[in-house]
Structure 1
């Protein structure tokens, strides 16, 4: 018995010795080139250590498991971890009796983590990488997945499309949102001072802009926390069907063959200056998309930040001519498709389809110009063959039920088993039964459940009889009153759009409507699946932009360009929104883009230079919409020259830091004058805008006088101004005569010209001109000597005679200009 006990002790000792050579069950360390991670025996990170600076970046007191499980809205954290150094695996044991095996490999600049297996995984809804807690909160890149300060950065990258940003309870659409969070120096309205941090919902396309105190985040892979920040990715078991949304946005999401096994991430820490080098190493090492432009990785190229042009006219020779005059190297020619869905290419501009487009892209290439096109991605038109006359079975739906009663060809109501999904009516109120599309007006309020007010044979489908038990699908709509594909059909769209690129030779694909991919119910995973298919089908890399962004897409797209000109005047339309986007781009290693602008023939050079100064302020490109209406403008050549010279100065790093800071104020105006091919003069400009002189009732014999005070902070100079005569109630015959401007009580401009609605006048400090509605000079007006602005305050009194109360309103914009600063290129372009 004694010998037996000795044998038992020896066996235990040997076992412990053997185990100790493979495992550490207190704490163990895993290192990459720059980062040392300490993990405890419960599978949680306890240290994120910068090896070079010997500085800790883990936030003590926070839970940070290597891998969490998610089930029924609950996180399950590991309670035990065993590290096998030889196999390079960590076995994680959970209280739910699950065991996860995670492979962890030092790849030099980063650590690669992959979920190899999970026992009893059938009832686990998702796995979560982390979340990983850090002390860094200076710059939090919510899409790229990198948090950083001036010295060090920590980051994670998803290595496959089934690993997506965020956490599972927040849904699959990448997260983010808008929050009340004023910047230093910004004043909140008194009613909002207790609302800091509150989420708000703002539609900039309806409201026109963001309040300046609202911050916008477009993802949730990295989020700011009180202790610093949090990095997180997750992967969902999509073999489990789900219900998402609520009320009128509820949707049933069918199971598909995709789960979290094989989910993999890269985890890294590095000096801040090395972040892009590390991400490039991850892309190349892990087979992620790594697009190149002109032999340069897109993320390092200057091409994605260049200004470019949108042309939607019919004369493609004009298109290239305008691009050359403005020195644009990229031209977006808009939508080229017969219909959305099948994406045929025979249109009025290109009657022979792909062949015509390819000839045009080749001609543009010979001129040094790349051509881009626009698509609404998976938006499907009601005229497309996927909808009419026979609808495809893979159109996306919000849910389904079955018929409880036979439906005749002319019946105007139908009986269904479950009304739940049909309250999500969408814009077309469309259901699909077999090959018929049917619109309905409403859902009954009581049983038996009925769809009422039917319109049969919608969108030229064929009316038919339907039997009890037939499936009734409620179709999902896009925001343009059309439809969308499910996650299977969308892959056909992806391949077709790649084929369009290959067939036509275009160099930019603009995926507008990218958010429509969320209609599959699989959110960012659906987006990843689509864009991965498109990218793999290309014959070469392209420039890419779109309406929506996510982490995997970050590797593929070249730039994003949000902000539109349709909602107010040039200087007001979505200005805060455009500037807030620049903060997002800077956080996420993306090129600056200011959004879309247009050239209107009524614009003056100041409008175009306003755009250019903001472009220089944020080193941001923009899209400028130009069409044949520019031919009407008296300032056409001024426009093209301003675009060329400002963009040349920006791209050659000619502006000083002080000048760039001035440009960031959207209320400031500037003029750039070319001296040589590499030098300019920069003038500060002040416009006193919107001063109105108009008819009003006065005493008999009293002149109608308007008084304005014009501040000139630049020193004495000749008077400059613009006058626009705007119609009253559409009256184009009423006039203004004997117009007189009295400046500082002794200088007078008398205009001996009858002014009608639509007329414009321009004084450039030397000559006064009468112009037409688009600033073409009609005649020079004689005024004697040119008045001067005094430095400081100037009083302007305007009088005139009116032919009646419907005489036009005169709008005066007074202009002063300061002394120039030198601007000189510091790099060759």
Structure 2
């Protein structure tokens, strides 16, 4: 098998370990610590480096440009895991096979193969195989969650979290990979801590949270990015947010294999470009308008004239009003459902002509009048009078909830039935309707009677069905209903409705629609998968995506690509505060700003309509102007004024005529404004008004900017490193960016939709080119010449020198290539001083690829004149593209411990009575008497037992026999406690350190009382006199030795102890036991 370039391992003499560090490189995907098994793997995704430990747990989320780790503190989760037989199985190991990572858990007996494919700005992760023990049920596959510390802006639906410096994104790449977390596993993935509605959206109450379908979640400690895939190959129960369980499946070819994500990290300003690159590169829906990606096009937020009485008979008038308001779309909303005979099969009612062919004629007429047509839908709502329901028998694919069996026969006239289970009757599903055979039965209430559940208040033969007799044992199912009381479709019906939508748009030329009630597509039990099947299924079958605008009532991570915009609320019933909250959500999710629907009357005052238009201009938001031809007809001359006001505000908004300061003022909800045209589509006068419409202050000039590219210059690129910068135009009407002269450096490309230049430049040099920003119809183009300098690759290497605990073990030097190109001719030189030799003195590595690391062992050898201080110096030299003999040096020292406490003695604290001047315990010439101590039980050189520990009392008398201040020495022995015998000049305490053989350390505290006292108190022993410079004295007083102890780690072996640096403390002996 050919190995991925970034996955090749390094093998040389003296190399004892190979590890990796992240690098922003087009050749980088996943990099191992060693062939086969790993102590750590790095997955690079754009400028994001995802660190995995040997178990496959995410240990870091590093911005490779700045080196900052954005993993939430103290939070860890696997990159991928499985739910098997109802339990989450977290991998315990990850290995690498080429560009595939294999996650496994030997105890559970499963493996997950994840293919890694890196592009310049993002990386895809795809599950290509799952192996589990025979007889087990793999219910679902879980991605992450990735716990991040980024909380400034959270795009829940788009799956991007960002702050001022860095953005991390996760995008599902197919319908079966759902954003969010399964409702069934609330006790995993920090799901219980995730806020249901962090954006405070009215459209997403706790009972129907967008969080259910969102990659990004908000927690008290940070954010999470997550996704999952369910196995629908067998029937299973799916939980709804309200707890109701719906049986789903089986579906063919619907295991968790194929679950796929895109992951990226980078500069926040480049996120739209990366999202565009992902959508195009992974063949996701990519709707455009005027050839530009709708997510960044100003035209996507254009306003509609929403009419409740649009008909074939008033099309001319409707078109005239739309043109007067400067609007291009007429939108039909005769009722809550749209212009349909019934939702489900979606056959046109008579308002637009009554058939697809008639509607096509209607649309053709509209186009001749200069407007396009859009219609309202209710997604997969199935009306009770639709052909999916009537005539009987109703379609078997209507969505059903729980099921139970009749425990008694049910006659055709009975108004009570009995079931063997009540699960299907639980709260959480809309309506109270059962399907028994071909009959629909409404019920009132239920109760348990013995081992049966009695269901009463029956109304038989509903929705055109016939009341019939049903045998005991017949199946009864809860019919899942929509919010308007009709039915819902299962996946088969969802697919058919998607096809019907696409066929209608293709055949009639309708250019806009709304997926209102889109959450219904999830309520058949399939969650975000059902929503994606509806939206993406429609998109995939529409012939012409350019200029087709789709709105939604629910935005989900899986449908984000296929939908043009969300537009929630009806200004009048929805507060302006909520409109602003909605737009904060749109901004966080890279969606066009929208006001929702605003009520418009022909006789409305300018003060009223312009206050709403001012807020829209402040937010740069489009609006659904909801009215009727009748109302506009009735407004007379006022209608003309109102429509012209709309035209002026919308024209100025879409041309970018308002300054940032003016837009901020327009967002002030306490203000009123009037806009007057000065020069058509060029200049206006903006006047602030008070609540009565009287002017406040002087009018302000509003002018459409002369189209120009406002980016002054491009930052330098570095060869081999991810580059990103946006070329910006001052005109929102820019629809295309093109290189019209010269060329970009090889490896970089200009995104025509966003103006972002992105990629990895291949080699140093200078490129001169011209970028032209193309304007929409009637808007001038603008051009600017740029020079982009590609600097030579700046080599980035890390060198870490680690000294051993003791010189018999080797020192190690680790060289990591933290750059994006190979380091060549890496020479690692080592030297030692102070009487120590080192080997090898030179090690050469021919090549160290980006992200790889090499560790060399350095063996120390003691010479005749060796010092206790071992010093080592390493010099690393290497060549990189464009530079030679780059050099890094590191130095380190090792202080060898003393052999035992006796070797550390530095103070004479005990003297012989015949030579008292040889000791000085307290600085005044006083000392312990060896004879007095012996009389009390401490004999020079003898063993002394205390509290289960065996000490050796110092044998020296009149020479150093205690340690004052800090000293490090070896301690031997087995046990769980370290004991110390000592005393002090005055009560004293201090902090010391225990070092174990494994290199770990343990701080400890020790305290001793004053050596002299009137009472023995808690002393281990107490002698009854001391020596002064004149000889024995102070008979009858107490001169004490104290004991203190420290609990040890019983699983470790003590190597050394470092005593406190308190010169007033004296330590005589230590012991372990």
Equivalent residue number for residue 112 of structure 1: 124
Distance 1:95 1:267, change over 3 A: farther
Q: Which residue of 2 aligns with 1:638?
A: 641
2:83 to 70, 89, 103: 70
Whole-angstrom distance in 2 between the partners of 1:247 and 1:162: 22
SS in 1 for 2:295: helix
**Residue 352 of structure 2 contacts residue 362 of structure 2 at CA under 8 Å; is this kept in 1?**
no
The equivalences for 1:454-533 within 5 A come to: 454-533=458-537
Q: 2:376–2:514: 8 Å Cα contact kept in structure 1?
A: yes
Mapped partners of 1:255, 1:72: distance in 2? 17
Alpha-carbon deviation of 1:515?
1.1
Looking at CA atoms only, which structure, 1 or 2, has the larger radius of gyration? Answer: 2
Cα shift at 1:642 = 0.8
* 1:415 aligned onto 2:423: no
Query: Using the alignment, how far apart are the partners of 2:485 and 2:647 within structure 1?
Result: 40
Among 644, 651, 655, the alignment partner of 1:652 is: 655
Whole-Å Cα distance in 1 between the matches of residues 631 and 93 of structure 2?
71
8 Å CA contact retained: 2:316, 2:369: no
Q: CA RMSD in A?
A: 3.3
Structure 2 distance, partners of 1:360, 1:118, is 53
* 2:172 paired residue among 142, 158, 172: 158
CA distance in 2, matches of 1:827, 1:129: 48
**Corresponding residue number in structure 2 for 1:320:** 319
Report the equivalent of 1:277: 273
- Quick one: which of 693, 698, 702 aligns to 1:823? 702
CA distance in 2: counterparts of 1:548 and 1:526, whole angstroms: 13
Q: Give the corresponding residue for 1:443.
A: 446
**Whole-Å Cα distance in 2 between the matches of residues 349 and 538 of structure 1?**
24
Which one has the bigger strand percentage? 2
The verdict on how the C-alpha distance between 1:94 and 1:294 changes in structure 2, with shifts beyond 3 A counting, is farther
Distance 1:576 1:631 in 2: 32
Q: Distance in 2 between matches of 1:299 and 1:201?
A: 20
Separation in 2, partners of 1:517, 1:49 = 38
Q: Is the 8 A contact 1:179 1:198 kept in 2?
A: no
TM-superposed CA distance for 1:246, in Å, is: 8.9
Q: Are the aligned partners of 1:617 and 1:664 in contact in 2 as well (CA < 8 Å)?
A: yes
Range with bigger deviation, 476-485 or 631-640: 631-640
How far apart in 2 are the matches of 1:537 and 1:158?
Answer: 21
The answer (yes or no) to whether the contact 1:159–1:264 under 8 Å persists in 2 is yes
* Aligned partners of 2:406 and 2:420 also within 8 Å: yes
Which secondary structure does the structure 2 equivalent of 1:467 belong to? coil
Among 277, 283, 290, the residue aligned to 1:287? 283
- Quote the offset at 1:544 in angstroms: 0.9
Q: Is the CA contact 2:147–2:222 (under 8 Å) kept in the aligned structure 1?
A: yes
Counterpart-to-counterpart distance in 2, 1:326 and 1:158: 40
Contact 1:476 1:483 in 2 (8 A): yes
Which structure ranks higher in relative contact order (CA pairs < 8 Å, sequence separation ≥ 6)? 1
Whether the aligned pair in 2 keeps the contact of 1:76 and 1:94 (CA below 8 Å) is: no
Q: What's 1:810 paired with?
A: none
Partners of 1:223 and 1:408 lie apart in 2 by: 51
SS in 2 for 1:506: coil
Aligned CA distance change for structure 1 residues 307 and 58 (closer, same or farther; 3 Å): same
Corresponding position of 2:925: none
Change (3 A) 1:223 1:430: closer
**Counterparts of 1:350-749 in structure 2 under 5 Å?**
350-390=352-392, 391-424=394-427, 429-447=432-450, 448-541=452-545, 542-565=548-571, 567=573, 573-627=574-628, 628-633=630-635, 634-677=637-680, 678-687=682-691
1:705 alignment partner in structure 2: none
CA distance in 1, matches of 2:204, 2:89: 42
User: Structure 2: any 5+ residue segments left out of the alignment?
Assistant: 1-13, 19-31, 708-778, 780-1073
Higher helix content, 1 or 2: 1
* Counterpart Cα distance in 1 of 2:577 and 2:289: 31
Per the alignment, residue 756 of structure 1 pairs with none
CA distance in 1, matches of 2:700, 2:571: 31
Q: TM-score, normalised by structure 2?
A: 0.58
Question: Once structures 1 and 2 are overlaid, which stretch shifts more, 286-295 or 66-75?
Answer: 66-75
Residues in 1 aligned to 2:82 and 2:243: alpha-carbon distance in whole angstroms: 30
SS of aligned partner of 2:487? coil
Kept after mapping to 2: 8 A contact 1:340/1:384: yes
* CA deviations over 1:397-440 (Å, ceiling 9, x no partner): 22122222332222222232223313449665322222222222
- Residue in structure 1 matched with residue 150 of structure 2 by the alignment: 136
Distance 1:114 1:478, change over 3 A: same
| Cross-structure match for 2:800 | none
Q: Deviations over 1:46-79 (max 9, x none)?
A: 3333333444333453214221223577543222
SS in 1 for 2:459: coil
Measure the CA separation in 2 of the matches of 1:817 and 1:108. Answer: 54
Deviation, structure 1 residue 320: 0.8
1:200 and 1:89, CA in 2 relative to 1: closer, same or farther beyond 3 A?
closer
Q: Is the 8 A contact 1:64 1:130 kept in 2?
A: yes
User: Given the alignment of the two structures, is residue 229 of structure 1 paired with residue 228 of structure 2, yes or no?
Assistant: no
2 CA distance for matches of 1:64 and 1:272?
25
* 8 A contact 1:330–1:370 mirrored in 2: yes
Answer yes or no: is the 8 Å Cα contact 2:200–2:581 preserved in 1: no
**Separation in 2, partners of 1:87, 1:418:** 51
Partner of 2:887: none
| Contact 2:147 2:225 (C-alpha < 8 Å) held by counterparts | yes
Separation in structure 2 between the aligned mates of residue 202 and residue 66 of structure 1, nearest angstrom: 30
Tell me, in whole angstroms, the C-alpha distance in 1 between the residues paired with 2:193 and 2:91.
Answer: 34
Q: Distance in 1 between matches of 2:695 and 2:642?
A: 20
Residues 218-252 of structure 1 deviation map (CA, whole Å, 9 limit, x = unaligned): 85411234554321111122335115259994544
Deviation of residue 564 (structure 1)? 1.0
Cα pair distance change 1:177/1:45, threshold 3 Å:
closer
For the Cα contact (< 8 Å) 1:59–1:227, is it kept in 2? yes
Aligned length: 660
Task: Work out the CA distance in 2 between the residues paired with 1:563 and 1:246.
Answer: 23
Residue 23 (str. 1) matches residue 22 (str. 2): no
SS at match of 1:457: strand
Distance (Å, rounded) in 2 between the aligned partners of 1:321 and 1:386 = 39
